[in-house]
Amino acid sequence: MSKIKSQNELSKELKLEAAKLGFDPVGIARIPGSERIQLRTDALQRWLNAKHQADMGWMEAPRRKNINTLLDGVTSLLAVGLNYYTSHKQNPGTLSIARYAWGKDYHKTIEKKLKKLGRWLETQRPNCRWKACVDSAPLLDKVWAEEAGIGWIGKNSNLLNKRKGSWILLGHLLCTEPLTPDKPATPRCGQCQACIEACPTNAIVEPFVVSSQKCIAYQTIENRSSKLPNEIVDSIGSWVAGCDICQEICPWNNEIESSSEPEMQPSKWKLELTRAEALSWSDEEWKKKLQGSALKRIKPWMWRRNAEAINNHK
């Protein structure tokens, strides 16, 4: 009969199992967390009160402020990051697509890996209950990732890690098993305001506060209006789906290692999409291209709307 692992041993091995699945960084937080959780929760409420969420009504879900509603009896969580940066370049003169969407749908990729971790945890603690969460869950994912020590929230509201920059997708494994927590991350942005100054629409209205209405990523992905606002059209550049400007300028994103994760490797068409193609493809052609992609949120008519707004090429 094998020896039952201690809390510290189990916590260490769980992180090692996560690393085997390609997650890096990884960290653990305990529920209810430090006082920073309440501070971040209060900041979310101020953001909502200012209507910065625009039409994203799901951000107002009360469950987002109470992790216990996601898993009854939750005591710990494992926060994981998956590097999505690749060294590929988009072709000159093509439309720009945010890097997170170059590969396959990361929600499915991360969830599949987290469920493997959950099943491994069950083999160690048969009575343990767990839940896999990606960013579609009503969870303060960046806040809990910060609490678990895998990165800090930057002035552009992205999570930043010393080694991986902000090119990481987040996932969380909630569980009822007490685990040994890591030290919460220390913010390291200092006086740098590169992201704030680089945003062409001034969407970062103050450090750590992003106004969705002014954000190119929000407007090209979430806005369901038939036309984009004039101020977005004036500054959209070549961005047809999302925007990486505030990440590309960030000093922490210099010299990031290219991801080896197969499902993060880019689809050829996402590096070669022209304005003419975006405007001419039929709904069926678009649906075929978007199969298995996180970009399915952008409906075919929205791709054409976004492309129509783009007059300048790289």
The percent helix, strand, coil of the chain (3-state, each to 5) is: 40, 15, 45
The per-residue pLDDT for range 205-235, each reduced to its tens digit, is 999 999 999 999 999 999 999 999 999 999 9
Two tokens, residue 219: 């407007």
Known catalytic residue at 141: no
Question: Any idea which architecture 7-85+103-175 has in CATH?
Answer: 3-Layer(aba) Sandwich (3.40)
Q: What is the largest CA-CA distance in the chain?
A: 69
| Rounded CA separation 101/213 (Å) | 21
Is residue 41 over pLDDT 90?
no
Partners of 161 in beta bridges: 165
pLDDT tens profile 156-212: 999 999 999 999 999 999 999 999 999 999 999 999 999 999 999 999 999 999 999
**Buried b vs exposed e over 112-144: b needs ≥16 C-beta within 10 Å?**
ebbebbbeebeebbeebbbbbbbeebbbbbbbb
CA distance linking residue 141 with residue 148, whole number of Å: 10
CB contact burial 34-59 (16+ within 10 A = b; e otherwise): eeebeebeeebeebeeeebbbeeeee
Nearest-angstrom CA–CA distance, 138 and 63: 6
- The mean pLDDT of 73-83, rounded to a whole number, is 98
- pLDDT tens digits, 287-312: 999 999 999 999 999 999 999 999 74
Predicted TM-score of the model (pTM): 0.93
**Residues β-bridged to residue 80:** 26, 171
Looking at residue 51, what is its pLDDT?
66
Residues 94-134: pLDDT tens digits? 999 999 999 999 999 999 999 999 999 999 999 999 999 99
User: Residues 12-34: pLDDT tens digits?
Assistant: 999 999 999 999 999 999 999 99
Backbone angles phi, psi at 152, to 5 degrees: -120, 155
- The residue that leads in pLDDT, 264 or 53, is 264
Q: Which of 42, 55, 135, 141 is catalytic?
A: 135
How far is it, in rounded angstroms, from Cα 199 to Cα 192?
A: 14
User: What's the pLDDT score for residue 314?
Assistant: 40
Q: Does residue 93 come out as left (phi exceeding 0), alpha (psi in the -120 to 50 range) or beta?
A: left
- In the chain, domain spans: 7-85+103-175, 194-259+267-309
Tell me how many degrees the CA angle 213-218-220 measures, rounded to the nearest 5. 115
Please tell me the predicted confidence (pLDDT) of residue 195.
98
